[in-house]
Amino acid sequence: MKKVDNDAEYFAWFAITKNKCTQFIYQQPALLMTLGYLTLNLSGFTYLWSLFDAFSIEIIKYMELSDFVMAFLAEPSILLASLGAIIVGGGGVYFISKINIKLSDANAPEGWKSWLLSNRLFYCFNPFYSLVVIATLIYPNIYAGVVGKWNAQSIKQGVMAPYNVDLINPVHVGQFQQYHFQNMQIIFESGRYLFLFEHSKGRTVIFARDNIASIQMATQGVDN
């Protein structure tokens, strides 16, 4: 394809790519669902990485494949934000498709304007793919990372509901063995571990789920 140096060719490039992708998706609809699912999982992983990083927890060390597969469900707003981004992206594709700039109507600038307008940075990038990447990857992942930091800050400030945790077998805390932990903030529950933050001592505690006898809300009773 020859170098794009005006808006008319740029929008024409968008239309050509959109039509090719639409035809491909029509023939392979399952691929679209797979890509959408992977996009949601990436957003979920970004959220968990941002949340765990705030507590200096190595996410790869404790998380299993099943946790990553459903990671986007850890925070419902991530799913809503991703769906919103897809809708906005689809709307953008629709409205851009309605823009009709004819090559014959493109004015040929002269002098420095000719060089500036014909060498725009975005002319180097496919407009359709750029919109898809921004709408379905960049925005949802930025949002997921920010939400992870917000939730971590809320946990550290003690905003979340406190829980009391009883263990089957004691764990060593300093020089003592301890069965019972009070006023713990839940960071995340994975398939094998429960990640907690002890606000009074400012420390992170990780328990194996098999070793938990009961979890009680500090103000509302048992919540097993």
Q: What backbone phi and psi angles, to 5 degrees, belong to 60?
A: -65, -30
Our count of domains for the chain comes to: 2
pLDDT the model gives residue 29: 84
Give yes or no: residues 143 and 169 share one domain.
no
Same domain, 193 and 96: no
pLDDT in tens, 195-221: 999 888 888 989 998 999 988 887 654
Q: Which pTM does this prediction carry? A: 0.77
Residue 135 and residue 183 share a domain: no
Domain boundary pick from 139, 156, 173: 156
> Domain containing 107: what range?
7-156
Asked if residue 92 and residue 116 are part of one domain, the reply reads yes
Per-residue pLDDT, 178: 85
Residue 149 and residue 87 share a domain:
yes
pLDDT tens for each residue of 115-152: 555 566 777 788 888 888 888 788 888 888 898 899 99
- Which positions of the chain have pLDDT values less than 70? 1-2, 5, 99-120, 219-224
Q: Residues 84, 152: one domain?
A: yes
Q: Tell me if 199 is assigned to some domain.
A: yes
Domain boundary residue, one of 100, 125, 156 = 156
Among residues 99, 129, 156, the one where a domain terminates is 156
Q: Are residues 137 and 38 in the same domain?
A: yes
CATH number at residue 210: 2.30.30
